[in-house]
Chain A
Amino acid sequence: MTTLEELLGPDASGHFGPFGGRFVPEALMAALDELDDAFRKALVDPGFTAQLNDLQVNYTGRPSPITQVDRFSEHAGGATILLKREDLNHTGSHKINNVLGQALLTKRMGKTRVIAETGAGQHGVATATAAALLGLDCVVYMGEEDTKRQALNVARMKLLGAQVIPVTTGSRTLKDAINEAMRDWVANVDSTHYLLGTVAGPAPFPEMVREFHRIIGVESREQMLKRFGRLPDAVVACVGGGSNAIGIFHAFIPDTEVKLIGMEAGGDGVETGRHASTISAGAIGVLHGTRSYILQDEDGQTIESHSISAGLDYPGVGPEHAWLHHTGRASYRPVTDSQAMEAFGLLCRTEGIIPAIETAHALYGALQVGHELGEGALILVNCSGRGDKDVETAARWFGLDDKS
């Protein structure tokens, strides 16, 4: 029987059950130990927590509200859908929560440069923002394919003073951006912090990134009790690497009556092989420094993922999600490109909210779960990001652009 402590993980060696750990070149071990030490000291330092809290309130705009979306809910089988509005944060997504925490840690460690990987560009924009705010040099690695899909965010990063390096190796997407960032980090670890943007990578990253995003679930739990007098029946979030999902799930893990459901990118459909549904259709392996579910062939070579959403287009997933799946505390299912875009269009038209395409996967999932739970159910969705960056992709999808 898994205890609550084990479920909340990780253990002292950075493992969530059989998942997590550190699979990295020896050259990085000293930096990971230094980071681990700085992180643990910061967590119990009132000066650090006060500084972070001040930024969250006065810079990010926390707490983010919960919006009840009644017209959207009319399509949810009688359930009521509630959105935790991380899209209203400064920079337009949940990513800023983690970035501010890690950027402050970078300063505490006396480092002057941050590097980051980005898929959709949301984490890159957030990192460039925090670097500008705190006076750090910033380099963002982004797959060449993604720089095209997310041109608006590339421009934003440049305006914020970051250098954006298009990555032309491998599949030219998020996975390869992480490879390049790790290569940079190994070579520049004295001056540089790798500001990883998701709950993956070697320990302590999965735990640290979770701790900086936990506030999403902590706020949500309080807001639910205060406003609705009860907890939601289900909490739904999209999962690529899994940072927004862990952020909203974690505070609800002890509440066993609350279902936790992660929506993975189903791409063209899991059966086509063109998807990014790592937990639903992957196998256990090691990628980017951690053991989790990954998409791989029989030789352990990473299989390229596919998704309309650059932010979910990743063949791995954070080890804590693997653990929550393994223990049965959370469940995961795929949502295809077309299903996500259906929910994307519906939210735009019924609520006047343009979500990120990543988030649209969670929105479709919420409609699905609504039909399963039926009348009276309360479903909390992490509205993880806004869709400005996706306007071009969406216009093309719906045939609204002049070119089509």
Chain B
Amino acid sequence: MSLIHDTFARAKADNRAVLIGYLPAGFPSRDGAIECLLAMIDGGVDIVEIGLPYSDPVMDGPTIQAAVDISLNGGTKIPDVIDTVRAVAQSGAPVLVMSYWNPIERFGIEKFTTELASAGGVGVITPDLTPEEASAWLTTTDSHDMDRVFLVALSSTNERIATVANVTTGFVYAGAVMGVTGARTNLSDAVKDLVARVRPHTDLPVAVGLGVSTPEQAHDIAQFADGVIVGSAFVTAINNGGAAAARELAVKLSAGLGRS
């Protein structure tokens, strides 16, 4: 089975959720991103999501938008993202890329998947690709054994959850809030219900992200989900204290992921 599968299986055996950490490639710089991602893994991040910076990130709030702007202004190109994957994958942690759809389509679906696989990347999260538009993507990822993660939302009907669960591999990404990325003070109980609604449709692990930033929130989510996804909080930590702060946040977040 896949590296992602093994990581979730190990965590389950330890009676804890996995910690998934996001950072855009090229933020705060090309090498800085690699340093920070390795520090996050060192601090306890189990699975890494490397963001492919995009000019029109409609799912992202101000924190990640600003990080992406820094990356794009620094000249980050798709080959730089692939290089970042290669450097981080050497740590042994599973590395996924999170990308809006147009850069992948423009670069070439086959070329992108081939290059990502050869760099050691194991999966891709596509937040604005719906299963209905994904037929070429399903074929290509299948042929490369590349995991492809789709999202479910609080607003998803059970029919749509079934549609998404049917095409997703690796894990199902459940959005904790209706809205863009970025820290939230309060997360509603609705996401617990969403995770419960996903379960009947798949045996895949379910990870919860969007708005999750604190160890308390991570702890709460770990009680009902298989993974906790944190992005903006890592960006903020790096803005304030660089790789050391990112590592420290990973330590704090991962400490609370055990199930009581």
Contact = CB atoms under 8 A, between A and B. Distances in A.
A289 B253 CA distance: 34
A27 B179 CA distance: 8
A245 interface: no
A30 B127 CA distance: 15
Contacts of A294: 102
A299 B128 CA distance: 17
Interface stretch (A72-80, A149-157, A181-189, A236-244): A181-189
A21 interface: yes
Interface string A15-36: 0000001111111111100000
Contact of B106 (A188, A190, A285): A285
Interface stretch (B7-15, B16-24, B83-91, B156-164): B156-164
Nearest to A169: B65
A23 B129 contact: yes
Interface in B47-95: 54-59, 61, 65, 72, 77-78
Contact of B58 (A25, A26, A189, A283): A25
B180 A23 contact: no
B102 A285 contact: yes
Nearest to A300: B106
A25 B61 contact: no
A335 B41 CA distance: 54
Interface in A5-57: 13, 21-31
Contact of B178 (A186, A285, A302): A186
Most buried by B among A13, A31, A288, A299: A299
Q: How many of chain B's residues touch chain A, expressed as a range? A: 35 or more
Given A170-B56, A302-B55, A25 B128 contact: yes
Given A25-B59, A27-B175, A170-B55, 16 more contacts: A21-B132, A24-B130, A26-B130, A26-B160, A27-B151, A29-B130, A30-B157, A169-B65, A182-B58, A187-B180, A285-B102, A286-B101, A287-B102, A288-B58, A301-B55, A301-B72
Q: What 6 A-B pairs come out closest when comparing CB atoms?
A: A300-B106, A187-B179, A27-B153, A300-B103, A30-B155, A300-B102
Interface of B: 54-59, 61, 65, 72, 77-78, 101-107, 127-130, 132-133, 150-157, 160, 164, 175, 177-180
